[in-house]
Chain A
Amino acid sequence: MSDIGNQNGDMKAERIRESVMAYLGGFALAVVITAIAFFIASDEELGTVTKVIWLCVLGVLQIIVHLVCFLHLKADARQHDRMMLVIFGAVVVLLFGLGTLWIMDNLNSQMSMPMPMPESD
């Protein structure tokens, strides 16, 4: 009986060690990605377009690291519903963000004359 208890204890300790390591690994990855992003943004040599693309890629990468390592999102059958929820959320956010920028940019470019601003005495 006590043997089983010990085994359980060992397994529990092993599980705890594993999840601590997973968190530390995710933290290290996130720190590295953040550092690279700040480094790229403050770099003087790179072109603007290159910088923006890099920052977008790094941002998405870091969000994935957070989802996997901190929020424990996995692509297995047990979490299927949760995964669907996250994908749905990502689609809505992208539609919202990019759609708004696209439409407003379109409106702006079709506004051939600058709007006269009413003077506020």
Chain B
Amino acid sequence: MNAEISHSEGVEDAGSARKSLVGYGFWLFIISDVVLFSALFATYGVLRGSTDGGPVERDLFDLGHVALETGLLLTSSLSCGLAGIAASARNRLWCQVFLTVTLVLGGTFLYLELQEFSEMCEVGATPQRSAFLSSFYALVGCHGVHVFCGILWGMMIQLLMWRRGFNEGVLRRLMCFSLFWHALDVVWIGVFTVVYLFGVTL
């Protein structure tokens, strides 16, 4: 009995040590990803005035649209956190429900973003029109690609959880996914402040 307990505790310790190591490694990845975004932000900041007589921010950006996108991403961050809590309570149903809500909200965000891009392209604001638009599509598009990858990843975790339940690997992946998703929301704070809100202000 005693040996059994100490053995299972040993396994638990090794598992949590692995988990905290993976967690730290994933933080490293997120910080380096944020540094990548900072390069795109810097590029945008330098080039935002280089419109070459083409459309400028005020003509293109619709704050209501952006507010809706922001709300979607923020709510998806909340439901992602709730999925993590459901996982720590080992509740499979709620975990799957909250993950689904997270991914659907993320998908809707992506749809709205693509709609915005296509509307901009229709009025001639394509990436090749000016340096401002090239850097705009690079920055906002890079964030969108991250969201798209996050959605694919989340769906794979859902499938894995459905097949295998809460094993150590699934829980570890879920923790990393949750970090990734929240970090995307943090980057979006930078995007809507620097690109959209500064865009209609300056």
Q: Given A66-B182, A70-B81, do A12 and B89 touch, yes or no (CB 8 Å)?
A: yes
Contact-size category for A: 35 or more
Contact of A41 with B27 in the complex, beta carbons under 8 Å: no
Contact of B31 with A48 in the complex, beta carbons under 8 Å: no
Contact of A100 with B197 in the complex, beta carbons under 8 Å: no
B-side interface mostly? helix
Please name all residues of chain B whose beta carbon is closer than 8 Å to the beta carbon of A62 when the two chains form the complex. Answer: 189
Highest count of chain A CB atoms <10 Å: which of B27, B28, B194: B27
Minimal beta-carbon separation of B85 from chain A (angstroms): 5
**Closest B residue, CB atoms, query A71:** B182
**Closest A residue, CB atoms, query B185:** A66
Partner of B201, one of A24, A31, A51, A81: A51
Q: Given A38-B63, A96-B38, A101-B42, do A30 and B198 touch, yes or no (CB 8 Å)?
A: no
Which residues 1-55 in A have Cβ within 8 Å of B in the complex?
Answer: 12, 16, 19-20, 23-24, 27, 30-31, 34, 37-38, 40-42, 48, 51-52, 55
Contact of B198 with A52 in the complex, beta carbons under 8 Å: yes
**Closest B residue, CB atoms, query A117:** B52
Contact of B39 with A41 in the complex, beta carbons under 8 Å: no
Minimal beta-carbon separation of A56 from chain B (angstroms): 8
Please name all residues of chain A whose beta carbon is closer than 8 Å to the beta carbon of B198 when the two chains form the complex. Answer: 52, 55
Q: Given A63-B189, A70-B182, A70-B185, do A41 and B197 touch, yes or no (CB 8 Å)?
A: yes
B168-199 interface bits toward A, Cβ cutoff 8 Å, 1 = contact, 0 = none: 00000000000100110110011011101110
Contact-size category for B: 35 or more
Please name all residues of chain B whose beta carbon is closer than 8 Å to the beta carbon of A31 when the two chains form the complex. Answer: 71, 74
Minimal beta-carbon separation of A15 from chain B (angstroms): 8
Partner of A97, one of B41, B63, B201: B41
A-side interface mostly? helix
Bound together, the chains give a CA A10 to CA B93 distance in angstroms of 21
Contact of A92 with B82 in the complex, beta carbons under 8 Å: no
Q: Given A55-B193, A82-B24, A85-B28, do A92 and B70 touch, yes or no (CB 8 Å)?
A: no
Bound together, the chains give a CA A37 to CA B70 distance in angstroms of 12
Minimal beta-carbon separation of B129 from chain A (angstroms): 14
Selected A-B contacts with CB under 8 Å, 22 pairs: A16-B88, A19-B88, A27-B77, A37-B197, A38-B70, A40-B197, A41-B63, A41-B196, A51-B201, A52-B202, A55-B197, A55-B198, A55-B201, A62-B189, A71-B186, A82-B24, A89-B35, A93-B34, A96-B42, A97-B41, A99-B42, A100-B46
Binding site for B on A (CB under 8 A): 12, 16, 19-20, 23-24, 27, 30-31, 34, 37-38, 40-42, 48, 51-52, 55-56, 58-59, 62-63, 66-67, 70-71, 81-82, 85-86, 88-89, 92-93, 96-97, 99-101, 104
Nearest 7 A/B pairs, CB to CB: A100-B42, A89-B31, A41-B197, A93-B38, A59-B193, A96-B38, A70-B182
